Structure 1
Amino acid sequence: MRPATDAQTVLHTLQQRLDRPPEQGFTAAALEARAVLLRESADVLSDPERRQAYEAELMALDTEDGALTPGLDVPPSREMGALLLLWEAGLAIDAFDAARRCLQPPQAPALGSHREADLTLLAGEACRMGARELQGRRQFERAAQLLQEGITLMRRTGRQPEQQRQMEHDLADLLPFRVLDLLRRDLSATDERAEGLNLLEMLVERRGGLEGDGDPALPRKDFQDFFKQIRHYLTVQEQVDLFSRWASGNATTPGSATAEFLACLALTASGFAQRKPERIAAAQLRLEASGQPGLQPFLACQHLLLGRVATAEACFSQGADPALRAWAAEHGSEPLAQLCAYCCDWLRRDVLAGYRDIEIDPDLEAYFADRDVQAYVEQLDRRQNRELQGRSHAGTEAMSAAPLTTDPVLDSLASRGTAASSEDPMRWPDPLEPAADPASLPLESSDPFRTATTTPARSSAAPRPRRAPLGAAGWKALPGWGRMAAAAVLVSAFVAAGLAGMMALRPLSPASPDKQPKPGVGATGTSPPPADTPAKSPPAAKPQPARAAGPVPLTSAEPDESQLRALLETWLQTKAAALDGRTPAIPPADLARERLVRELAAELRRNRARGVSREQVTTEIQGLRIDTRTPRRIAAAVDIRYSDTALDAQGKVVDRTPATNFRNLYIFGREGEVWKVVGFRPLS
């Protein structure tokens, strides 16, 4: 009440307050205590002398620089009335704190008393009002904490079940706002941001997945707008981790095609921004293996960033629609110039936008000038050349109808068939599992989840796109300014600027998707010899069978991590033995799916074709953790250290891969009662 208010107005206001008591169900004793305090306040304010003394005391307190706070001494018999007036005055949080203290020992009232009932009711009402006030100030996490305190209090007293349900409903409605509140905080607030990520996963799971619609409190359109907003508060690695988990799904939530696509975009953004093309290669593998139609233009950009110009041009030519072709034609007359223009636009619009920690221009020239990128492309080029030479030798031998080899190891593998040797060994998902729930349909083209112009969608009827042919020949055919310089120069001016030859490149550990490093081979293979020492020629005596690493077959209905690790080690040993020219102790078909056995036979043939007599492989499983599990399929994240050395018939080193750490997702499937290795794909 204002200081200038006259006594008549004070009395009128008093009568209104007395005529309009709270209607939430407080007892008569509480309302009477409130009425007594109102009358006493009116008596003071309507008496000029008492009012003057009261206002003088308030002014004196105001001159103490805030050291003292005004207050009233209220006898215990009228305490409930004072709390009601405090709540009605809009100080809901203060009223809740005071009521909660009164409900705790040693002030706690007798169980079942009217005072306990009034305090509990007031605490609930004040809690909800205070939470709404905090929401109005955009302090969503503080509002949630207040509601949690109120729910805990209601559960402890066992009273006001309806209020408790209302507070739980209010808390559930706050979930997306809490996520936004926590994730927009500074990156140094690691605990708060971690809590925000946990709440985000809880929200998505409550909806039934990223494309789900199981949350009536947050309709699909509202969730999409919310999700589009919070993406800008997430770092690129946070998005890779989140989307990868949602793409795989779990026991309660199906896998998400949208999440898989977004994970591939995040991996590509990370690889481009941090100059790590192996991440782009992993994204390209995953995007290709997803089986979604309409991805050729995106795959073309990824192939270009990996230095596969011919493959990139082929993908773009096959997948670009007439509108995109017309747009590209306006940005250059040469196919490579058009592709570079589209790649820059794709990076700027769809890939690099939407991350809290990425602020980089889509500069292809700077990207290809990086030493790590140069080393990766050069190593990829060498491997492609070896594969092309091997295929050429293999084709000549096939036309002459001469037997490829009399190696008993290869002969035993060949009996399993080699028709699928051209299949991608990283194909995903495993055909053992049924397709995702048909209810999880692709989103419409306006869906904000899709950050690309061409919307990818899961299609179970459409065949999965196979990997485009190797681009080494087309890459070699570029003009004399050099393969590496072509893309970098064309993106800046789309004109051939003469560079004399290839830049000096340093070696890099293999991570190319065109010739995967073999993280799925021998756990106990022979260590490679020193780089400057030729390996000894293989002995003429018959090779001894390899020793198995663990018990097979694996028939446990629910194998644990140690059993899966033993199975994988046995399969790796079997592959290492076959590649080293030894007879495996266990037939490969008893450990892995037929596709992997055919792939192993094809790899042996490729080695023979390029003059490799033996390939000594060393792998070490450094860790295995089960990621997802169903009755007939298990996915496990595996950390592997891998190296290999290829030798010719005289024991001379033909090629070598230095020791490299890989992280792969291995798939185990159950055929009948036996678990086998199905396949693997690299993780970020």
Structure 2
Amino acid sequence: MELPIDHFRLLGVNASSDRQSVLRTLQQRLDRAPDQGFTQDTLQARAELLEASADLLSDETRRQAYERELTAIADNANGSIAALEIPPSREVGGLLLLMEAGQAQEAFDSAARGLQPPQAPALGSSREADLTLLAGLACQGTARDYRDQRRYEAAALTLQQGLQLLQRMGQQAEQRRKLEQDLKELLPYRVLDLISRDLSASGSRQQGIALLEQLVQQRGGLEGHADLTFPQSEFQPFFKQIRQFLTAQEQVELFSRWGDAGSATADFLASFALTASGFSQRKPERILEAYERLKNSGQPGIEVFLSCQQLLLGQVDEAERLFDLGADAALKQWALEQGDDPLARLCAYCRDWLTREVLEGFRDIDVDANLDAWFADRDVQAYIDQQDRIRGRQFSAKTSLETPATAETSSPFGDWPSFDLSGSSDSPTSFESLEQESEDDDDELWDGPRWRFSDLQWPQLGGLNERLQALPSWGLPVGAAVAALVLGFGGWMALKPRVSEVETAASSALVQPETPAPAPLEAPFPLKAPDPSAGQLQGLLEAWLTEKAAVLAGGAPSESLADLASSDQIQRLQRQSQANRQRGATETVKTTITGFKVSDRSPVRIAAQVVLTYSDERKSSTGQVLSRTPEMTLRNTYIFGRRNGSWQLVAYKPTAKN
């Protein structure tokens, strides 16, 4: 066979080396024979080839003739290269020297060909073992060279070829393990290589996104620590680098899937991606979807972000309320410096928030946080006007639907602040779904498949246009930077204002019983186990669903609702029950949990994927059926939170289209 190398490179000397240098290098190479496990025959062939090169280069006459040959080959315009002819008995030794000379790719290709018929060596022979070992080592060396050149996908393909070859030969188990480990460690770099390619390379980019999902799954999620070779301290900077190569829609799809699987971090990122997409494309329905996802995530310290999303939706009163609720002293002082009008302060913060934390980090978004342009857009104006019309129809009797006075109780959720947010998870999630709302369709499926506005207390627009016109230009100087704090789940976003602890008392004013209360549940509540089992959490959820059904049916709960759920959930139930009473209606709801799986767990937050059967029926006081939902299967994510040693239900959201 021919080795694509000359005597100088084979021995490891340059063209100016004298005879003494040649002999000294020969001795060093002979003394440093590889120890990876080659047979003596291969090592002997290697030594003989080195000695042959040294003999030629140390003989002045032969060396001069050889140098003239090399010069003639270099001057030839047909692309010829120098090569050495070696006998088959020294083939493996020659390939070993080729690899040592830095030509691992050529060595790997030659070894792979040598293992294929008709050149394949006899089964079980020493030549087969040496050639297989050489192929594995050369493959690893080739991948290393590609990695040094930042050709990560080429490195991965080479490793995959090497693994397939060694698996076919059924040898070198240890070498296969090393190749598999190298391939695993290469995964983040492959993702970066593929995703960073031009948007026109859709096939490569989709492969990169698939590998990114594989990487996240391998780590046990964005917050996971299952992959010890890629610790969180290294993964977070890598992931921030990856994000800038993803489009807004790619981020929405990725983070939404991970969020639906129980990742709080992904929920947060999905909300920001939806906000960026909606703002840049002038699609307020995406802002609403972002708001719902973030609010239902159950994360602490999100009120100021929710306030910005409500402002973009034209809900000024609610936006101001949320901002006042969530801003700490430093942020409030910063806001005071932006103007005298509360709306001016909120707009200044919203613009700063969009600029610093929302609109950055997307491959296909390059817009300014121009609120003038946002509110001047005809689609945005039409959306806000339609929201007003819907609320005008559905809340014409708003004052009669106010929540009854609540008794003071201990705050049910201190570590996870309880938010009495208007616009619950029962709100429409898209502009198209809003258009389908009818005046008479006021059926509510709690934990159910449809989304609606009734029974909620949405703030009115409150003269937004007039207030906006009274404000100075949106070019207000931002002033001192908002205090930068890392988010509680590991610094996924660069900056976040401090948020004060806020405790909201749970309501204890419930409707008087009209039917006997159900028998007491066997499970003890409140649930105080520090690390509750799935069975205990399922029991807590079943208890809440049972008590919820009792209240909607016009009865009284047998358990303290504050022991089962947050005040936000309790108040939402009260509003729904009160709306039924005012209509003279009763509601019978049946739910049965058929599947329960914990998907995310921390000391203060647990997410569970739940499958349940659901049906309901609403009747008038005369017994006439007003609405009925036949039995169906639902899949929801339920969020549990812990405070003062007790676990409660905090939020829920659908995890699949029902």
Please indicate the TM-score interval, normalised by the length of the shorter structure. Answer: 0.5 to 0.7
Matched ranges for 1:28-427 at <5 A: 28-65=40-77, 67-249=79-261, 255-391=262-398, 424=424, 426=426
Instruction: Say if 1:231 and 1:355, in contact at 8 Å, map to a contact too.
Output: yes
Amino acid at match of 2:266: A
CA distance in structure 2 between the partners assigned to 1:41 and 1:389 by the alignment: 98
CA distance in structure 1 between the partners assigned to 2:655 and 2:95 by the alignment: 63
Instruction: Say if 1:332 and 1:338, in contact at 8 Å, map to a contact too.
Output: yes
Instruction: Say if 2:637 and 2:654, in contact at 8 Å, map to a contact too.
Output: no
Instruction: Say if 2:296 and 2:653, in contact at 8 Å, map to a contact too.
Output: no
Structure 1 residues 280-325: Cα deviation after superposition (integer angstroms, max 9, x where no partner):
0011111112222221111110110001111111111121111110
Partner of 1:11: 23
Instruction: Say if 1:315 and 1:468, in contact at 8 Å, map to a contact too.
Output: no
Percentage of pairs with the same residue: 52
Partner of 2:635: 667
CA distance in structure 2 between the partners assigned to 1:276 and 1:368 by the alignment: 11
Please give the secondary structure, in 1, of the residue aligned with 2:244: helix
After superposition, the Cα gap between the structure-2 partners of 1:679 and 1:169, relative to the gap in structure 1 and judged at 3 Å, is closer
Instruction: Say if 2:22 and 2:54, in contact at 8 Å, map to a contact too.
Output: yes
CA distance in structure 2 between the partners assigned to 1:370 and 1:340 by the alignment: 17
CA distance in structure 1 between the partners assigned to 2:427 and 2:224 by the alignment: 26
How far apart are residue 369 of structure 1 and its match? 1.3
CA distance in structure 2 between the partners assigned to 1:64 and 1:635 by the alignment: 78
How far apart are residue 40 of structure 1 and its match? 1.8
How far apart are residue 680 of structure 1 and its match? 5.0
What is the RMSD of the two structures over their aligned residues, measured on CA atoms?
3.6
After superposition, the Cα gap between the structure-2 partners of 1:92 and 1:239, relative to the gap in structure 1 and judged at 3 Å, is same
Instruction: Say if 2:56 and 2:62, in contact at 8 Å, map to a contact too.
Output: yes
Partner of 2:474: 491
Instruction: Say if 1:425 and 1:599, in contact at 8 Å, map to a contact too.
Output: no
CA distance in structure 1 between the partners assigned to 2:365 and 2:344 by the alignment: 26
Structure 1 residues 46-97: Cα deviation after superposition (integer angstroms, max 9, x where no partner):
2222222211121111122462122122221121221111011111111111
Instruction: Name which of structure 1's ranges 43-52 and 205-214 shifts more when overlaid on structure 2.
Output: 43-52
Amino acid at match of 1:374: Q
Instruction: Say if 1:337 and 1:490, in contact at 8 Å, map to a contact too.
Output: no
Instruction: Name which of structure 1's ranges 384-393 and 175-184 shifts more when overlaid on structure 2.
Output: 384-393
Please give the secondary structure, in 1, of the residue aligned with 2:351: helix
Instruction: Say if 1:121 and 1:160, in contact at 8 Å, map to a contact too.
Output: yes
CA distance in structure 2 between the partners assigned to 1:33 and 1:102 by the alignment: 17
How far apart are residue 235 of structure 1 and its match? 1.1
After superposition, the Cα gap between the structure-2 partners of 1:243 and 1:312, relative to the gap in structure 1 and judged at 3 Å, is same
Instruction: Say if 1:311 and 1:468, in contact at 8 Å, map to a contact too.
Output: no
CA distance in structure 2 between the partners assigned to 1:483 and 1:602 by the alignment: 34
Please give the secondary structure, in 1, of the residue aligned with 2:84: coil
How far apart are residue 379 of structure 1 and its match? 0.9
1:470 aligns with 2:458: yes
Instruction: Say if 1:14 and 1:42, in contact at 8 Å, map to a contact too.
Output: yes
Amino acid at match of 1:261: F
Structure 1 residues 588-630: Cα deviation after superposition (integer angstroms, max 9, x where no partner):
xxxxxx9999999988899999xxxxxxxxxxxxxxxx9x999
Partner of 1:633: 610
CA distance in structure 1 between the partners assigned to 2:244 and 2:187 by the alignment: 18
CA distance in structure 2 between the partners assigned to 1:137 and 1:361 by the alignment: 37
Amino acid at match of 1:116: E
CA distance in structure 1 between the partners assigned to 2:47 and 2:168 by the alignment: 30
After superposition, the Cα gap between the structure-2 partners of 1:31 and 1:330, relative to the gap in structure 1 and judged at 3 Å, is same
Partner of 1:518: none
Structure 1 residues 507-553: Cα deviation after superposition (integer angstroms, max 9, x where no partner):
xxxxxxxxxxxxxxxxxxxxxxxxxxxxxxxxxxxxxxxxxxxxxxx
CA distance in structure 2 between the partners assigned to 1:635 and 1:134 by the alignment: 51
Instruction: Say if 1:244 and 1:259, in contact at 8 Å, map to a contact too.
Output: yes
Please give the secondary structure, in 1, of the residue aligned with 2:635: strand
CA distance in structure 1 between the partners assigned to 2:355 and 2:102 by the alignment: 50
How far apart are residue 425 of structure 1 and its match? 5.4
Partner of 2:466: 482
CA distance in structure 1 between the partners assigned to 2:134 and 2:611 by the alignment: 53
Instruction: Say if 1:368 and 1:484, in contact at 8 Å, map to a contact too.
Output: no
Higher RCO, Cα 8 Å, sep 6+: 1
CA distance in structure 2 between the partners assigned to 1:425 and 1:80 by the alignment: 69
CA distance in structure 1 between the partners assigned to 2:219 and 2:323 by the alignment: 36
Instruction: Say if 2:424 and 2:456, in contact at 8 Å, map to a contact too.
Output: no
